[in-house]
Amino acid sequence: MAEGGQVSGAVFKPAKDEGADLAADPLFQTFRVLTPALRRFIANRVRNDADVDDILQDIAARLAARDPEAPVDNKSAFLFSIASNLMKDRDRRRLVRRQGEHVTLDDLEIADPQALQDQVLEGRQRMQLFLAALNTLPAREREVFVAHRMEGQTLLQAAESTGLTLAQVRKLVEQAMARLARKVWKD
Amino acid sequence: MTGPNVTEDEQDNFAAARWVMAIEEGLSPEHAEAFHVWLAARPERAELIARQAALPGMARHAQRQAQLEGAAQRLAQQDLARRRANEQALRSRRRFLVGGAIAAGAAALAVAAVMAPRDRGEHTAEVVPEELYETTSGEVRVFDLADASRIWLDAHTQVSVRMTRKQRDITLAAGRLFVDVARDPDRPLFVRNGQFEARAVAAAFEATAFADRTGIAVTEGIVRLTGGRGGRAIDLGKGQCAWLSASGEIATSSASAIAAWRQRRMVLSDRRLDAALAELSRYFNRPLTVADAQLAARRITLSFSIADLTEAEAARIIANAVGADLSDQANAGILLSPAAGGADAGVGARVNPR
């Protein structure tokens, strides 16, 4: 995959005066690590490469603009969520253009109720699968997954509260994550 | 998870989970490079990473949903419990779980109650989703449950389904359902109603909770029925059915054509005419009734398809079978009455199609 080589490409180079701060920001570091994955994720959902670059650029801009003091619990989730939202915004803007530029973004929320319904239904079905999958996890795996991924405990806190070692907790969480993903997206 | 038989997809899935965990903790430049090499080797791997990133959001959404819907669900349950309290106190001394809160108008609405360990003082978190299913007049629907069991709901039926780690609970609030139970010896499936409890591990059976007819009929496997006076338990096998009388007696018999309603066939076997009409009326908007006590007590055995019938046509079939007259009622219903000119007069009965 060619994208692998573009991780630290010029597209995401931060402004000079903010460079040092941004490079030290854990969220921006995570963004750099995840860029090839984000690129493929976006490319699977938008039509042309220029859009992919634009969206990645937008993500970088948002990261630069955010308050660096505000902690982000789950960096990968945060980055993929920004990517999803930017793609949605893009679709909305495109729809506005098609309808003659006279529609505000607020109006657009109800412009395509069927699409919205499909999206909600899809969400509901996935949610049902997720809950069913969570229920069938082995007790220990569920416990540490809930503590670490849902309640925001650190691995160390989860280890302390369960009496397990850090390595054991990490392995259990990883197993739970893999099992959940397999069951939620079994199609 | 990494044994010799594990597929490449499963290995990738597990690797994606490990990479996301590692990325969250911070990767060294060498590890970041290794991640990019891994990612580039298969295009699908980026999606696996995205799914892992989406899981915590789903978890949080489930919690929010539970908080929002918890209040509404509690109100609905309290309302249902109030309405059933008198009926249950009279009919049974045995306590059954009343879990069904049926939201009007929603065919299938899933709600979730996510309880963190500290909320209940238990060691592990238990997530208990409840799914509510409902059918209206003339509707027969089939649903696949999360455990791979399948349920058919007859017309005017309300059920709620709750899957936990130890058991699968279906509460039949009203109507009739057929369950094809997915085999799971560690997690028995219960169908409960105010009057009975049916337990199965791998079976197929019908459960009925009509006003005048309550019980189960088994087509596959073994079902343990508990209920009636004294909470008696009996095991029923293929082709057996059990009905609870108003006094709490359980009468068992053999049965054929169980749950023919799934194929939209009305199979009446030695049924009282008034009960048969009540059952038939479930499929139509116009009620079919009988006022004459003697005619109401007539017993009827009949089998016919209701797939494309109007109320009037269905009423005609029954009227012909018992030799009754038909007439339209002010409430849009259709009344069966003793034939004016003797047993054969019903053949010439008149009724408006709609």
Query: B63 at the A interface (CB within 8 A)?
Result: yes
A76-87 residue pLDDT tens: 888 888 888 788
Please count the helices (runs of H) and the strands (runs of E) in chain B.
7, 19
* Closest residue in A to B44 (Cα–Cα): A40
- Provide, as residue numbers in chain A, all residues whose Cβ is less than 8 Å from the Cβ of B24: 30, 74-76
The reported pLDDT for the residue numbered B180 is 94
The reported pLDDT for the residue numbered A12 is 43
Name the residue among A127, A139, A182 with its Cβ closest to that of B124. A139
The reported pLDDT for the residue numbered B69 is 58
The reported pLDDT for the residue numbered A99 is 52
Query: B49 at the A interface (CB within 8 A)?
Result: yes
Q: Which of A100-109, B202-211, B307-316, B344-353 has the lowest mean pLDDT?
A: B344-353
Q: Do A143 and B43 touch (CB under 8 A)?
A: no
Q: Do B24 and A181 touch (CB under 8 A)?
A: no
pTM attached to this predicted model: 0.44
Q: Which of B80-84, B109-113, B123-127, B194-198 has the lowest mean pLDDT?
A: B109-113
B8-53 residue pLDDT tens: 888 999 999 999 999 988 899 999 999 999 999 999 999 999 989 8
pLDDT band at B64 (very low <50, low <70, confident <90, very high): low
Interface list for B 245-284 with A (CB within 8 A): none
Higher pLDDT among residues B104 and B164, named by residue: B164
Strands B299-305 and B324-328: unpaired
Measured CA to CA, the distance from residue B171 to residue B97 in angstroms comes to: 8
**Over residues B267-293, mean pLDDT:** 88
Cβ B124 vs Cβ A142: under 8 Å = yes
Q: Which of A34, A87, A127, A185 to mutate to test the interface with B (most CBs of B within 10 A)?
A: A34
Q: Does residue B89 surpass a pLDDT of 70? A: no
Measured CA to CA, the distance from residue A178 to residue B9 in angstroms comes to: 11
- Provide, as residue numbers in chain B, all residues whose Cβ is less than 8 Å from the Cβ of A75: 23-24
Q: To the nearest whole number, what is the mean pLDDT of chain A? A: 75
Q: Do B60 and A41 touch (CB under 8 A)?
A: no
Q: Does residue B158 surpass a pLDDT of 70? A: yes
B158 closest CA partner among B139, B185, B145, B183:
B139
CB count, 10 Å around CB of B124? 17
A4-24 residue pLDDT tens: 333 333 344 444 445 556 677
Q: Do A29 and B21 touch (CB under 8 A)?
A: no
* Closest residue in A to B30 (Cα–Cα): A33
Q: Do A36 and B45 touch (CB under 8 A)?
A: no
How many residues are listed for chain A in this entry? 187
Three-state secondary-structure class, residue B331: coil
Q: Does residue B108 surpass a pLDDT of 50? A: no
Name the residue among A40, A149, A151 with its Cβ closest to that of B55. A149
Cβ B327 vs Cβ B337: under 8 Å = yes
Q: Do A182 and B10 touch (CB under 8 A)?
A: yes
Q: To the nearest whole number, what is the mean pLDDT of chain B? A: 78
Q: Do A185 and B51 touch (CB under 8 A)?
A: yes
Q: Does residue A2 surpass a pLDDT of 50? A: no
Q: Does residue B135 surpass a pLDDT of 90? A: no
B199-249 residue pLDDT tens: 999 899 999 998 788 999 999 999 999 887 777 788 999 889 999 887 778
Cβ B55 vs Cβ A149: under 8 Å = yes
Query: B18 at the A interface (CB within 8 A)?
Result: yes
**Over residues A107-125, mean pLDDT:** 48
* Closest residue in A to B46 (Cα–Cα): A37
* Closest residue in A to B146 (Cα–Cα): A132
> Which H helix or E strand runs over B100?
none
The reported pLDDT for the residue numbered B110 is 37
Q: Report percent pLDDT > 70 for chain A.
A: 71
B238 closest CA partner among B224, B254, B210, B219:
B219
Q: Which of A49-58, A84-93, B88-97 has the lowest mean pLDDT?
A: B88-97
Contacts of A76 (CB under 8 A, 6+ apart): A30, A34, B20, B23, B24, B49, B52, B53
The reported pLDDT for the residue numbered B347 is 39
pLDDT band at B58 (very low <50, low <70, confident <90, very high): confident
Higher pLDDT among residues B6 and B174, named by residue: B174
Measured CA to CA, the distance from residue A154 to residue A148 in angstroms comes to: 6
The reported pLDDT for the residue numbered B124 is 40
Q: Do A129 and B146 touch (CB under 8 A)?
A: yes
Query: B82 at the A interface (CB within 8 A)?
Result: no
Q: Which of A157-171, B92-106, B181-195, B247-261 has the lowest mean pLDDT?
A: B92-106
The reported pLDDT for the residue numbered B222 is 92
- Provide, as residue numbers in chain B, all residues whose Cβ is less than 8 Å from the Cβ of A140: 124
Query: B20 at the A interface (CB within 8 A)?
Result: yes
Report ipTM (2 d.p.): 0.78
Q: Does residue A108 surpass a pLDDT of 50? A: no
The reported pLDDT for the residue numbered B205 is 96
Cβ A31 vs Cβ A60: under 8 Å = yes
A34-64 residue pLDDT tens: 999 999 999 988 877 888 999 999 999 988 8
The reported pLDDT for the residue numbered A57 is 93
Distance from CA of B170 to the nearest CA of A (A): 15
pLDDT band at A121 (very low <50, low <70, confident <90, very high): low
Q: Does residue A145 surpass a pLDDT of 70? A: yes
pLDDT band at A126 (very low <50, low <70, confident <90, very high): confident
